[in-house]
Structure 1
């Protein structure tokens, strides 16, 4: 009995470590990728990231592409399109409004899915908290970067659709085949785009290294860490921990990129994180 309890505790501790590694790796990768924006732009960085992610996902998932049916390919192609759009929207938003604010806006996507899944009146409070956070983040004024805010919200919409499509892909394809195929297709889509950008804006070795690092840290490492973490901790615990990602993004943005956030920005991030945490708890209770 004691051995079993210790085994569970060890598994939980390992799961927490993996979740921490996933979140920190993802946000650090985005910050490192930002160093290449001045040379190849956000689109160039995303292209290289998608290529790296596609190769890693193919190697891990090993999808049997020739065996896919039309019914299986449709959600996979949709997932690939959303994946590609989400990343370019997020990275362009990071370029315009900073890592912490962009990631916080992006997290409105899973928050919306969680609130919709809970189906309780108290979820209205979550929506109000999130809305207050958005108002504080954007603080509409003549100097506000509405394009950057809009791109962050587009990334949020894409993430919400990504979550829903992933469920469909998971039901129609075994294991990781669907996600791997979507990653590969997304990488192929970015071949002509990326080549065009890199020809127009010749990359330096340092810029390519930063973009490739973003692919490894923001795609490959989180994908594998999340996969292993979900085998060790409950799904709702995973969701709760991932709710802290905007905080990690803001902290890493401040340390790595020198992004200084005002007290109101931190308050806004806290409101969005609180709303997401509450929504995840409500969803897990409803599922039970």
Structure 2
């Protein structure tokens, strides 16, 4: 899971460098295209034999991935990688909290405390002490990505029932069908001398952020409880902050770092409460 989180956020950081040339949707399309090509070559799924009914969760997963990646990149463009991913991380936290049922009044109070801690973390991310202007649109994109990340976790569990990495391959193919027409138009508008750079970074982004980690997630979810998987997603905001600094030179203030830590801690506590309640 540590490797998966680092791979996703490293790829996202490299992809963000292409925003001036192809924008968030272009980077999303590149991720889907590279993921589909790589995984279809490896998996070679027997689509006709599996049938639409068995493939439906993977198809829906592809739709969710397009929305999740686009809204995340739109948030990153406005509020930075570390903060965008942390707001998006409220999705796995919500999965952990919703999975923490039972346990009586004490467990309910603990869940409420986890939710309050996450809310405090989001407030700290806006760094209210400095009086800086909050990019509401960026936060809204991050919140949309959070909802879609929660859907991704739920659908990945179902798509993981398909053999091998067929689920990820079909999801990548679906995403490519949805994004390819616009991606072609965006690439045609790129200056000719910059096109090789865009294609290279796009390929790296697709492998690091989609093909490799999503395949790992599908395999892990077959062997790991969903709540524990959600807890380990706490690594994503940390990795995003690190690669945001190293690749994009996005420096976070101490208060914002505290906000990231609060959201991660809320997720870990939520999973612990759920396991204790069970």
Q: After alignment, is 228-237 or 38-47 more displaced?
A: 228-237
- Report the alpha carbon displacement of residue 128 of structure 1 after superposing the two structures with TM: 0.6
State the distance in 1 between where 2:137 and 2:18 align. Answer: 21
Task: Give deviations 1:149-185, integer Å, cap 9, x for gaps.
Answer: 11111111101112222333345x4443333212211
State the distance in 2 between where 1:161 and 1:20 align. Answer: 21
Runs of at least 5 residues in structure 1 that lack an aligned partner in the other structure? 1-18
- Report the alpha carbon displacement of residue 220 of structure 1 after superposing the two structures with TM: 2.3
Please give the residue correspondences for 1:116-195 in structure 2 after superposition, counting only pairs within 5 Å.
116-119=98-101, 120-121=107-108, 122-139=110-127, 143-170=133-160, 173-195=162-184
Q: After alignment, is 71-80 or 142-151 more displaced?
A: 71-80
State the distance in 2 between where 1:205 and 1:175 align. Answer: 33
Q: In the superposition, relative to structure 1, how do residues 25 and 73 fare at CA in structure 2: closer, same or farther (>3 Å)?
A: closer
Paired residue for 2:89?
107
Q: Are the equivalent residues in 1 in contact too, given 2:99–2:227 (CA < 8 A)? A: no
Q: Are the equivalent residues in 2 in contact too, given 1:29–1:215 (CA < 8 A)? A: yes
Tell me the matched-pair count: 268
Paired residue for 2:104?
none
State the distance in 2 between where 1:227 and 1:165 align. Answer: 10
Paired residue for 1:248?
239
Say whether 1:94 aligns with 2:83: no
Of residues 65, 72, 83, the one that matches 2:54 is 72
State the distance in 2 between where 1:142 and 1:260 align. Answer: 15
Paired residue for 2:8?
26
Q: Are the equivalent residues in 2 in contact too, given 1:39–1:204 (CA < 8 A)? A: no
Say whether 1:268 aligns with 2:256: no
State the distance in 1 between where 2:242 and 2:157 align. Answer: 31
State the distance in 2 between where 1:164 and 1:96 align. Answer: 28
Task: Give deviations 1:79-122, integer Å, cap 9, x for gaps.
Answer: 21111110011112111110000110111101101100012411
- Report the alpha carbon displacement of residue 249 of structure 1 after superposing the two structures with TM: 0.9
Runs of at least 5 residues in structure 2 that lack an aligned partner in the other structure? 102-106
